[in-house]
């Protein structure tokens, strides 16, 4: 039985232009009648259907052409399946990060005028700036890229060193943090261990609170430092009233830097006074 281009397009749920592209790509070789109309036979429908199915799986036209000429279609499909598995794994990780960040947004909303205590997970941390200074060492920059691209579940945060605070200085050290439990999951042990630019923070009990500020204020170090200083003063008072003291470096997680406001979650390590 003969089928016209329009018939084939309707069967596959595509446009006639798509059928013509299949022809131009060498997937179909229609015959022509005396009026020069293209017509196809049942095997052409099968070929076009397979092209459509492989396209849905992400095969490019070049890859499909290579299969048409190949003696080993199995290996080409197996390689594509391997690539898809990697993409799925990465999407799963990114979904996990997005899900966690949504939870952090909800936590910030709940803690705007309150505190809570919980254990901060152990993490590895690398800075890209200290105050107004941007670090430019090649090895550090390479590691920063690996944190960003090889470990989707990284967190942007700033650390305020306890020694600086004791000296009356507020200096923000900003960079990327990766949970210790994710190091092996992401296969980053060789990158992390022994890297001179990476700091380790063990799991520790922290007081958590949140602040929300106008987005334009994030560009002012004066305003950001004043905000942090005011928050720290109130949090110290809260901790002191419970017989405890600040016991380590303080960190602030940038939960969201888009929109009209910036959401920041602040964690302060503490322990009972001696």
The pLDDT of residue 197:
93
The pLDDT of residue 129:
94
Burial (0-12, 13-18, 19+ Cβ within 10 Å), 11:
middle
Predicted TM-score (pTM) of the model is 0.74
The pLDDT of residue 133:
92
In the chain, what are the domains?
A: 3-69 (1.10.1660.10), 95-272 (3.20.80.10)
CB-CB contact of 47 with 27 (8 Å): yes
CA–CA separation, 224 and 240 (whole Å): 24
CA angle 217, 223, 225 (to 5 degrees): 125
Contacts of 236 (CB under 8 A, 6+ apart): 246
Burial (0-12, 13-18, 19+ Cβ within 10 Å), 128:
buried
Find tokens 């928050």 and name the residue. Answer: 231
- Per-residue pLDDT tens, the chain, 274 aa: give them: 787 888 888 988 889 999 888 888 888 888 888 878 888 888 888 888 898 899 989 999 889 988 888 888 899 899 999 999 989 988 888 898 889 889 888 888 888 889 999 998 899 999 999 988 999 999 999 989 888 887 767 889 999 999 999 998 889 999 999 999 888 777 888 888 888 999 999 999 999 999 888 888 888 888 888 888 899 999 999 999 999 999 999 999 988 888 888 889 999 999 998 7
Radius of gyration of the chain (CA): 29
The pLDDT of residue 240:
94
CA–CA separation, 48 and 45 (whole Å): 5
The pLDDT of residue 186:
78
CB-CB contact of 158 with 254 (8 Å): yes
The pLDDT of residue 224:
85
CA–CA separation, 210 and 46 (whole Å): 60
Among 163, 130, 139, 128, CA closest to 250: 163
The pLDDT of residue 135:
94
């Amino acid at each position: 039985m003969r089928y016209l281009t329009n018939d084939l397009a309707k069967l596959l749920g595509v446009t006639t232009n798509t059928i013509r592209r299949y022809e131009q790509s060498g997937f179909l070789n229609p015959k022509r009648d005396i009026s020069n109309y293209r017509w196809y036979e049942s095997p052409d429908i099968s070929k076009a259907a397979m092209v459509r199915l492989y396209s849905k799986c992400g095969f490019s036209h070049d890859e499909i052409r290579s299969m048409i000429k190949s003696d080993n279609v199995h290996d080409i499909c197996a390689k594509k399946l391997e690539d898809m598995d990697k993409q799925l794994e990465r999407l799963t990780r990114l979904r996990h990060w997005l899900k966690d960040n949504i939870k952090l947004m909800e936590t910030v909303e709940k803690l705007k005028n309150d505190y809570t205590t919980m254990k901060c997970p152990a993490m590895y941390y690398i800075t890209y700036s200290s105050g107004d200074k941007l670090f430019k060492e090649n090895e550090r920059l390479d590691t920063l890229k690996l944190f960003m691209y090889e470990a989707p579940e990284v967190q942007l945060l700033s650390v305020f060193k306890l020694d600086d605070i004791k000296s009356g200085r507020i200096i923000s050290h900003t960079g990327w943090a990766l949970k210790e439990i994710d190091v092996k999951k992401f296969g980053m042990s060789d990158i992390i261990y022994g890297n001179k630019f990476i700091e380790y923070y063990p799991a520790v009990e922290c007081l958590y609170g949140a602040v929300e500020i106008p987005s334009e204020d994030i560009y002012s170090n004066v305003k950001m430092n004043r905000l942090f200083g005011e928050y720290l003063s109130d949090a110290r008072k809260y901790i002191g009233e419970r017989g405890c003291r600040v016991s380590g470096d303080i960190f602030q997680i940038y939960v969201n830097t888009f929109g009209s406001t910036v959401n920041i979650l602040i964690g302060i390590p503490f322990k009972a006074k001696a």
